[in-house]
């Protein structure tokens, strides 16, 4: 009888509040006197033959009214989510994989061999607003990039050039900027104030609106890159610098040596010249880095990187609190990681094959707080973390203990977006809003959060 009533309630209520264990009436776990309750806000079938699989990459717009699906070799799909819609109709978007959903917008950037296209949805179609020059070569693909504020687009009009575009007017902010070598990687800083361009084996820091040099060029050296197997390798200038916005410092890596004799010298510099450079060394080649805060830095580095489909790298923790930096290896098999919004927790994926485990550290403490099943899939706004092995169960967990607070089985793709968690099934999509409530209060009582 109770099961029948639950099915009846699910059928009638599109915004049913359903914490973990609701199907069998088990109470949701309590964390520090609170429980996490989730309310379904979207549940829509996807029309037609379109199917979401586990290889898709998905972006949700900032206002959560649009979804962009990258089906890798199966094309790109745009899904509009207007209020009151009963089902969604996928719209094909022309261009290669890795499309960009522009921040604070529903416009989409895609690319082909010679152009970057800026597109906008209009009713049941995607309209091309502009086609901008962007040179690609076989084996030397480079993606255009969009600033965090969604106002500037950067492209490579020729192999040795860089150009910035105003995404509001779709006009160039400056003529093409000549670089000292082949442009191999471009990116904006996390706050959008600076732009990094790797040309040849050098890194330069530019102002994205004027193209003027802010710092550099810095020597980076080669990054040992194995695209298919350890027996097939070649060099590319790919160690990625990391920018720290609070102090406006950047760490650059200079990889040296080959095979069994590798080394890396890292130098931390102030872009404003307010402090002397600080350096430290690694016994392997650096791949990428992230600042946790002004005192702590994470570096992924190793010997034979990208040797298979499931790439893992040693993760190093670097402390800059004292005069002499200290480097500690935290784990040898990290696929990807994220730094929590509170700046106090780090969650990473330990991966060997398609199934992973998540591990959480408290910043500054080398011993993990917990490990749990599922790959790290992102952070929620209010102190929770999402883990998920694609095609399997998506689980919301506590930062502090890793305890499961809520879960859904058989999910193709899962990702957090602010207070919401988005779930994508083969022919359906859902969003759930997560709210903390004081334990003992009814689940349907307003939380006071907005």
Q: Are 297 and 289 within 8 A, CB to CB?
A: yes
Q: Max Cα separation, the chain?
A: 74
Q: How many CB atoms within 10 Å of residue 359? A: 23
Q: What is the pLDDT along the chain (450 residues), one digit of tens a residue?
A: 444 443 333 333 343 444 444 333 355 677 778 889 999 999 999 998 889 999 999 999 999 999 999 987 778 999 999 988 999 999 999 998 899 999 999 999 999 989 999 999 987 899 999 999 999 876 667 899 999 999 999 999 999 999 999 999 999 998 999 998 888 889 999 999 999 998 887 889 999 988 999 988 888 765 444 433 333 333 333 567 899 998 899 999 888 887 678 889 999 999 887 788 999 999 888 888 999 999 999 999 886 544 444 567 889 999 999 889 999 999 988 988 999 998 999 999 998 777 889 999 999 888 999 999 999 999 998 889 999 999 999 999 998 899 999 999 999 999 999 999 999 999 999 999 999 988 766 655 554 443
Whether residue 184 is contained in a domain is answered as: no
pLDDT at 449: 42
SS3 state of residue 72: helix
Residue 370 lies in a domain: no
* Predicted pLDDT at 239: 63
- Residue 75 CA to residue 117 CA, distance in Å, equals 15
How many Cα atoms sit within 13 Å of 330 on the Cβ side?
A: 30
Instruction: Give, in order, the Cα–Cα distances in Å from 414 to each of 55, 310, 328, 348, 358.
Output: 12, 19, 32, 16, 15
What does the block give as tokens for 417? 């977006």
Q: What's the pLDDT at 138?
A: 64
- Specify if 190 maps to a domain: no
Total of domains in the chain: 1
Please report whether residue 393 resides in a domain. Answer: yes
Residue 33 lies in a domain: yes
Q: In sequence order, what are the residues at sequence separation of 6 or more whose Cβ sits closer than 8 angstroms to the Cβ of residue 436?
A: 34, 35, 36, 37, 382, 383, 447, 449
Q: What are phi and psi of 336, to 5 degrees?
A: -150, 165
Q: Residue 169 contacts by C-beta under 8 Å, 6 or more apart in sequence?
A: none
C-alpha distances (whole Å) from 75 to each of 52, 254, 390 are 11, 37, 19
Closest CA to 373 of 392, 315, 423: 392
Rounded CA separation 221/200 (Å): 9
Q: Which of 331, 330, 254, 327 is nearest to 286 (CA)?
A: 254
DSSP state of 327: E
The sign of the CA dihedral 13, 19, 20, 21 is negative
Structural tokens at position 71: 């089906």
Nearest to 270 by CA among 197, 190, 205, 186: 205
Q: Are 265 and 284 in contact (CB under 8 A)?
A: no
Specify if 244 maps to a domain: no
Domain that holds residue 17: 1-50+380-450
Structure tokens that stand for 59 in this block: 């972006």
Instruction: Give, rounded to a whole angstrom, the gap between the first and last alpha carbons of the chain.
Output: 36
Is residue 35 in some structural domain?
yes
Residue 367, CA distances (Å) to 318, 334, 339 in order? 15, 15, 16
Confidence (pLDDT) at 74: 75
Q: Is residue 70 part of a domain?
A: no
């Amino acid at each position: 009888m109770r099961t029948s009533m639950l099915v009846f309630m699910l059928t009638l209520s599109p915004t049913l509040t359903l914490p973990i264990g609701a199907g069998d009436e088990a109470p949701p776990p309590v964390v520090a006197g609170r429980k996490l309750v989730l309310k379904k806000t979207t549940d829509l079938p996807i029309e037609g033959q379109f199917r979401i699989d586990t290889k898709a990459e998905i972006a949700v717009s900032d206002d959560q009214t649009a979804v962009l699906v990258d089906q890798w070799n199966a094309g790109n799909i745009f899904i509009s989510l207007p209020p009151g819609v009963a089902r969604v109709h996928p719209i094909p978007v022309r261009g290669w994989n890795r499309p960009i959903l522009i921040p604070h917008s529903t416009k989409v950037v895609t690319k082909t061999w010679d152009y970057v296209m800026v597109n906008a949805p209009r009713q049941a179609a995607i309209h091309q607003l502009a086609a901008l020059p962007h040179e690609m070569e076989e084996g030397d693909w480079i993606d255009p990039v969009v600033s965090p504020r969604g106002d500037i687009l950067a492209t490579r009009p020729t192999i040795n050039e860089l150009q910035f575009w105003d995404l509001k007017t779709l006009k160039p902010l400056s003529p093409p900027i000549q670089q000292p070598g082949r442009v191999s990687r471009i990116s904006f800083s996390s706050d959008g104030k600076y732009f990094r361009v790797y040309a040849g084996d050098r890194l330069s820091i530019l102002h994205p609106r004027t193209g003027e040099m802010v710092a550099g060029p810095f020597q980076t050296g080669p990054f040992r890159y194995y695209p298919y197997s350890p027996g097939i390798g070649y060099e590319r200038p790919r160690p990625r610098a990391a920018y720290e916005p609070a102090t406006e410092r950047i760490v650059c890596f200079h990889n040296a040596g080959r095979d069994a004799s590798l080394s890396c010298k890292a130098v931390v510099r102030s872009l404003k010249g307010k402090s002397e450079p600080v350096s430290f060394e690694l016994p392997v080649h650096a791949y990428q880095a992230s600042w946790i805060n002004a005192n702590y830095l994470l570096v992924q580095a190793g010997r034979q990187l990208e040797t298979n489909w499931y790439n893992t790298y040693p993760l190093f923790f670097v402390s800059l609190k004292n005069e002499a930096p200290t480097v500690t290896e935290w784990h040898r098999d990290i696929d990807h990681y994220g730094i929590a919004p509170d700046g106090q927790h780090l969650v990473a994926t330990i991966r060997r094959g398609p199934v992973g485990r998540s591990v959480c550290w408290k910043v500054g403490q080398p011993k993990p707080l917990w490990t749990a099943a599922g790959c790290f899939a992102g952070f929620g706004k209010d102190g929770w973390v999402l883990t998920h092995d694609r095609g399997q169960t998506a689980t919301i967990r506590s930062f502090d203990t890793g305890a499961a607070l809520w879960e859904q089985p058989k999910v193709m793709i899962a990702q957090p977006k602010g207070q919401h968690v988005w779930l994508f099934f083969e022919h359906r999509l859902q969003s759930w809003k997560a709210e903390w409530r004081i334990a003992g209060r009814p689940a349907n009582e307003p939380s006071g959060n907005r």
